[in-house]
């Protein structure tokens, strides 16, 4: 028995496969903080020391430097003169020599030293193939958190990984359906929604909710209605469409101001610069503010009147949507993907076609006008998150999943 392992507790290795800030990493941290430490002995494996969340009681952190392979592969793909297949071919030997083989040996030693019984992988199906192979070799149960849609172009790799995974955790019903359509057996997929930590949000939430709806204060058009977009500034998040909608809506209500909170993270910053250039050329500098990355975005989120989440591709879940609702905010979200499972349009929030700039503008004007009923929408939003997406309930499901894995078969089920 490892000297770090307490008798009676189940040793679990949680491995984070993310390379950027975002909902996946936030949920990983929440899981580490809230799993039952009396039942589980937790080892957290991070790719980069910069990703550590500080000391978490009952959690032992380990790091393996993945960044060499990742950065080399990223730079190869950025070489415009290299065809995509050639760039991938060149990055493969780098991956095999500098990452896959030494990382597999590192994982094997870690699992043997701590007598790991369950490996839980964060983020996506293909995020950690070495860990799956080591688990298969050592007879360790595996769970893989699916926070992204499976890529149809990688059917073979998806099936290969599935053969090594005991249970898939989908963060939404739409992810579950996508996995099944990709050939993953339905019996192996369980929906455990991402969740909101109300304790952490309480410091950001005002002591007293606003007495009026979001737009009532600006009915004269002289005060500011703050619209907030939170997250990575990348093309599929749809910030440019919202900027255009705010520009259109401001012709009728000059009190609208948009805050774009976040940066490009590990993605190319070309889209972010395109959004900035649009604002400069259209004279929107005073109407649209780019804050950059903020370590504690909930403090700013609490100051917003409306939270806008406008993913133009299906969103796996929509953590910003759930957090905004938990704060009792009016939320306007894309109807693609996960947000449609969280929001009942007109009941606890609002859904919109993310590519329809005119429709977004009209909905923003509606919310800013302060019609009757918006207070009820905000109250219903908070109640929905407390009932369906609270942290204690969802983390409890993960703990029960670990126990069910150990009670089940040693080998994963496979698709027919």
330/271 same-domain check: yes
Give the pLDDT band (50/70/90) at residue 155. confident
Q: Which domain holds residue 106?
A: 10-195+390-407
Which tokens hold the place of 31?
Answer: 């899981």
Q: How many domains does the chain have?
A: 2
State the residue for tokens 């950059």: 292
**233-267 pLDDT, tens per residue?**
999 999 999 999 999 999 999 999 999 999 987 66
182/236 same-domain check: no
Q: Is the separation of the CB atoms in 236 and 312 below 8 Å?
A: yes
Which tokens hold the place of 416?
Answer: 């027919």
120/131 same-domain check: yes
Nearest residue to 329 via CA among 232, 215, 241 = 215
Please enumerate in sequence order all residues whose Cβ is within 8 A of that of 72, keeping only pairs 6 or more positions apart, or say none: 91, 94, 98
**282-329 pLDDT, tens per residue?**
999 999 999 998 888 888 999 999 999 999 999 999 999 999 999 999
Number of neighbouring beta carbons within 10 Å of residue 405: 22
Q: Is the separation of the CB atoms in 77 and 84 below 8 Å?
A: yes
52/79 same-domain check: yes
Q: What is the DSSP string of 29-61?
A: HHHHHHS-TTTEEEEEEES-GGG--S--TTEEE
pLDDT number for residue 207: 43
pLDDT number for residue 178: 93
19/122 same-domain check: yes
Residue 70 lies in a domain: yes
**Please, which residues bridge with residue 11 across strands?**
41
58/152 same-domain check: yes
Angle at the Cα of 339 from the Cα atoms of 333 and 343, rounded to 5 degrees: 85
Residue 334 lies in a domain: yes
**206-217 pLDDT, tens per residue?**
544 444 443 343
Supply the CATH number for residue 342's domain.
3.40.50.2000
Residue 268 lies in a domain: yes
pTM assigned to the model: 0.85
330/403 same-domain check: no
Please enumerate in sequence order all residues whose Cβ is within 8 A of that of 242, keeping only pairs 6 or more positions apart, or say none: 227, 229, 258, 308, 310, 360
Residue 22 lies in a domain: yes
DSSP class of residue 412 equals P
Q: Is the separation of the CB atoms in 224 and 286 below 8 Å?
A: no
277/139 same-domain check: no
pLDDT number for residue 313: 95
The enclosing H or E element of 176 equals helix 173-181
142/187 same-domain check: yes
Nearest residue to 13 via CA among 172, 166, 176, 131 = 131
- Angstrom distance (rounded) from CA 395 to CA 393: 6
**177-193 pLDDT, tens per residue?**
999 998 889 999 999 99
Residue 179 lies in a domain: yes
Please enumerate in sequence order all residues whose Cβ is within 8 A of that of 270, keeping only pairs 6 or more positions apart, or say none: none
Residue 90 lies in a domain: yes
Number of neighbouring beta carbons within 10 Å of residue 277: 10
Residue 189 lies in a domain: yes
Percent with pLDDT over 90 in the chain: 60
Measured in whole angstroms, the distance separating CA 230 from the mean position of its chain's CA atoms is: 12
Q: Please state the length of the chain.
A: 416
77/210 same-domain check: no
277/166 same-domain check: no
Residue 162 lies in a domain: yes
259/162 same-domain check: no
Torsion over CA of 287, 292, 295 and 299, rounded to 10 degrees? 0
């Amino acid at each position: 028995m490892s000297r770090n392992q307490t008798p009676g507790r189940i040793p679990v290795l949680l491995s984070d496969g993310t390379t950027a800030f975002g909902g996946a990493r936030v949920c990983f941290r929440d899981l580490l903080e809230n799993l039952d430490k009396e039942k589980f002995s937790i080892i957290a494996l991070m790719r980069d020391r910069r990703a550590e969340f500080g000391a978490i009681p009952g959690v032992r952190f380990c790091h393996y430097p993945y960044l060499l392979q990742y950065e080399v592969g990223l730079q190869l793909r950025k070489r415009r003169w290299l065809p995509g297949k050639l760039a991938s071919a060149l990055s493969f030997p780098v991956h095999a020599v500098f990452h896959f083989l030494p990382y597999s040996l590192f994982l094997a030693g870690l699992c043997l030293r701590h007598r790991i019984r369950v490996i839980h992988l964060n983020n996506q199906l293909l995020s950690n193939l070495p860990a799956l192979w080591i688990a298969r070799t050592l007879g360790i149960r595996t769970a893989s958190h699916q926070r992204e849609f499976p890529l149809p172009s990688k059917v073979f790799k998806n099936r290969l990984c599935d053969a090594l995974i005991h249970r898939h955790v989908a963060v939404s019903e739409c992810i579950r359906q996508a996995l099944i359509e990709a050939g993953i057996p339905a019996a192996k997929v369980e929906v455990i929604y991402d969740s909101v930590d109300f304790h952490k949000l309480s410091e950001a939430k005002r002591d007293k909710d606003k007495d009026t709806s979001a737009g009532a204060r600006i009915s004269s058009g002289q005060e500011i209605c703050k619209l907030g977009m939170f997250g990575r500034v990348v093309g599929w998040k749809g910030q440019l469409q919202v900027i255009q909608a705010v520009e259109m809506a401001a012709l009728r209500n000059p009190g609208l101001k948009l805050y774009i909170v976040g940066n490009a993270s590990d993605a190319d910053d070309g889209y972010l610069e395109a959004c900035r250039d649009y604002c400069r050329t259209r004279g929107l500098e005073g109407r649209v503010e780019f804050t950059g990355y903020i370590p504690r975005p909930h403090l700013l989120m609490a100051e917003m009147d409306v939270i806008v989440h406008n993913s133009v591709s299906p969103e796996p879940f929509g953590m910003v949507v759930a957090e905004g609702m938990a704060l009792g905010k009016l939320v306007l979200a894309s109807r693609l993907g996960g947000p449609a499972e969280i929001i009942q349009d007109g009941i606890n929030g609002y859904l919109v076609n993310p590519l329809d700039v005119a429709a977004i503008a009209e909905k923003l004007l509606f919310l800013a006008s302060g019609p009757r009923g918006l207070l009820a929408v905000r109250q219903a939003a908070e109640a929905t998150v407390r009932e369906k997406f609270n942290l204690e309930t969802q983390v409890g499901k993960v703990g029960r999943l670990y126990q069910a894995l150990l009670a089940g078969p040693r080998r994963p089920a496979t698709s027919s």
